[in-house]
Structure 1
């Protein structure tokens, strides 16, 4: 009978004990919340049931080991509840969109606004949170408090549990080492799919970086910035820099895409419009790309953990007027020290936005053009006499609710996916909705050119458009963006860049005939943006690198 009682006790563990709760949570999350991981493993070559079981045991052992260190009566329940809810959410997003959860994704989450969050909500997310997170959390919170135990005994038990978990993980890893090393080397996304350890690691990494990073104002760059002298009677430059959102180069008909996604831009003279077809982004998400593309160092040398001034600061220090207009979630700190505004915040005395341009929650990108003259008139007149760099930050093709990003008269490609759960729509409908957003950007750029043409009596005008990153539309089961750069597919890093340099302008006259046409198929990247803009408007500083200025080789 005593032996029977012991066996029954083994199968009916004391759920009041913190260590028992830790290992039950590890078992639940390791097996159930990782269903996207187990599904992904089965699609990989050379993976059998034995490896999958061993890998599952490794995940459970590692999770249990981590939780063992936190298995204290007043701590463990709160930690597990948070991890359960996080695991429920991550299981949905990883399974639905094929995303991975790394430190960059944590930064994206921190900087996401209410509109972007709302687009990601669905009833399936609610079901995942309920079944994988809320219900086990409710069960856990109903467990009575653990009996009192001395500190040394509690600490010793936790350390023994941690050690056993690590030993079990190592033994299982060694049992399938050949397959494990090959899988981790050839399929790096797997390591970012292990829930909730991916969340623990990524949140911790971002926290450590924020605490250990330099404090105080951003480092000054381009302290010697100045403008090159202009010829007598020459007009000051006006460069419109349009920062696109989630646009991928391969869906622009200007770049060879079969569908007519750029009908308006295609009407402009080929001698003034140049679409570069081989441009690479700094990152795969806005939070990573924006600061990098406005920095002089380039992607390889840029360090996001060392705050510094950016292109806008240098242009303003050189004496130019700078204005940032935003139709998205903000400028990620880039515009903090220059005049800036949102589309919905109209200048004093401006006429209301036309009906249909905004729905009370967000505006179509064409709102960026509304009352531009009044916005510019509010800038420093002395600076305007030297020139103006106007930045427009689009909502663009931000997903997953692509259908919200195009007005009714630009929904040329039908039927389009009308859901934010892209995986539930036929891929053709997802692409239709996305292509409609590219056509919407096309009209914005064409009308921007029309506005610039109205300014030519006063300024030497030009436009540069470039997207911050691309987008996956179901290729290899991936949706949206934000993959770690080293393993990101080309769909997320191959972005459009378009230059409009009007014939008869001072810039066009300063360039070798036909030279810009030669740039179309040449490799370029976000690394070129800082230096090309400085060269375009005639600004110089010690951080300016002519080798990265796309126009430098074309100057007479």
Structure 2
């Protein structure tokens, strides 16, 4: 009964997406649905049988029901719980980032969990289980499993053509199979993170890094944007004036930039890695030097200031500070920044990891004075109109415009050889095609989650709009170039400013 409930009611998003692609009342559509439902039921049944005994049965089934209900709710918002989303969640737990978790709480979430989680759990605990000997219970479980598997094989065999063809052509649907995809993602996460014998030793790269050919002190601010979409920047043609300050600056604007991933835990380490998107994984990046390590080796003073959950390991070997617990808006990162810079005689790079447009409560990312676009959503996005969600999000972009412009003014007023470089880690879905937030696997992620803003300002007031494709792969090599660092790992063809 638990398997049947989960397959049918906790997978409404999967069935909805499936029936958008097939006609259930045609022979092939009916065949695939029946065959897949049998396969889904059988696999889930075997998983539950393997991990349940007479002592843990109700507890384990209760946990599965609760987890499936939570996943089912967020699946409606377009969230996929893959390995990297799990890494985000686990990072927040380790960092005790309750603020982000609390912002996800809402009345619809509580109602959904109550109906699809708590009510079935209560009914489950009302069932009286007759205890039998270990041998009899084992025999019954084996027999029941054989029956389920046999029926499943017959259903698949009878519809083999439909199952194999449609399944092969629609592999992306696996991301929405609840909770089996999450169980598989959890296995991948544990395998990558908690088996050190399989991990590589830390690899030092860029050990030959030196600064050459310049004498004037360089001061740079790199701003890691959060959840900003390129198409919501007026600089990129958006019809709302979300960049009133930056539009008056001489900037180099990269209007066609692709992110490395669709989540912070994946993209932020990638932005500072020298692996490149095609060869990147968070585990690989964590086991070798990043561009900040190389800059430090060359003699640049690098400091990471965080107003987000964490640096995701990027700042592990440089000086850093996290101010998220202070509950301040992003502009507070500029407080006393000049004093920090002036203490250094060497070149300086300050990395500001902003809270930016982090959802789902966008209205909390800016002060009331920046509530230019109204009415705004003051709830989770699915409870508001598209106009309200758009306005709240656009106001957060307006505040990002203020943060970047203020950083530029700080450099312009105090240093003759400086720059401000901004790039967002990933984008955000705001209800397009029924998808909200971010974190979809890259292969199926919409452009709203992967097309990000990137721009730079220099003391010599260079100005240009660059439509040529760029990506997070360019960032590390561009930073090395800006500080005139010579090293064998520097690739001038990836330097945006070469």
TM-score, length-scaled by structure 2: 0.92
> Residue 425 of structure 2 aligns with which residue?
468
Counterpart CA distance in 1 for 2:422 and 2:296 is 20
Counterpart CA distance in 2 for 1:65 and 1:206 is 22
> Residue 394 of structure 2 aligns with which residue?
435
1:446 partnered with 2:405: yes
> Residue 356 of structure 2 aligns with which residue?
396
Computed over aligned residues only, the root mean square deviation of the Cα atoms, in angstroms, reads 2.2
1:482 to 419, 436, 439: 439
> Residue 186 of structure 2 aligns with which residue?
203
Counterpart CA distance in 2 for 1:255 and 1:175 is 53
1:317-362 Cα shifts (integer Å, max 9, x gaps): 11110011111101011112111113468xxxxxxxxxxxxxx6x2
CA drift at 1:182: 5.0
* Number of aligned positions between the proteins: 487
Going from structure 1 to structure 2, the CA distance change for 1:163 and 1:315 (only over 3 Å counts) comes to: farther
Aligned 8 A contact 1:255 1:277 in 2: yes
1:98-497 → structure 2 map (5 Å cutoff): 98-112=78-92, 113-144=97-128, 146-151=130-135, 153-181=136-164, 183-213=166-196, 214=198, 218-230=202-214, 234-269=215-250, 273-306=251-284, 307-343=287-323, 362-377=327-342, 384-420=344-380, 422-457=381-416, 460-497=417-454
Q: Which moved more, 1:154-163 or 1:61-70?
A: 154-163
1:29-68 → structure 2 map (5 Å cutoff): 29-48=6-25, 50=30, 51-52=32-33, 54-68=35-49
Aligned 8 A contact 2:192 2:199 in 1: no
Counterpart CA distance in 1 for 2:445 and 2:165 is 19
Counterpart CA distance in 2 for 1:415 and 1:296 is 43
Counterpart CA distance in 1 for 2:99 and 2:166 is 38
Going from structure 1 to structure 2, the CA distance change for 1:157 and 1:447 (only over 3 Å counts) comes to: same
Q: Which runs of 5+ in 2 are unaligned?
A: none
Counterpart CA distance in 2 for 1:342 and 1:385 is 24
Aligned 8 A contact 1:276 1:521 in 2: yes
Q: What's the secondary structure of 1:99's corresponding residue?
A: coil
Counterpart CA distance in 2 for 1:257 and 1:177 is 49
Aligned 8 A contact 2:256 2:468 in 1: yes
Aligned 8 A contact 1:327 1:368 in 2: yes
Counterpart CA distance in 1 for 2:238 and 2:200 is 47
Q: Which runs of 5+ in 1 are unaligned?
A: 1-23, 346-359, 509-515
Q: Which moved more, 1:423-432 or 1:256-265?
A: 423-432
Q: What's the secondary structure of 1:485's corresponding residue?
A: coil
Counterpart CA distance in 2 for 1:210 and 1:157 is 37
1:508-544 Cα shifts (integer Å, max 9, x gaps): 6xxxxxxx73x61111100111100001111122221
Aligned 8 A contact 1:68 1:159 in 2: no
Q: What's the secondary structure of 1:386's corresponding residue?
A: coil
Q: What's the secondary structure of 1:547's corresponding residue?
A: helix
Aligned 8 A contact 1:343 1:367 in 2: no
Counterpart CA distance in 2 for 1:258 and 1:246 is 19
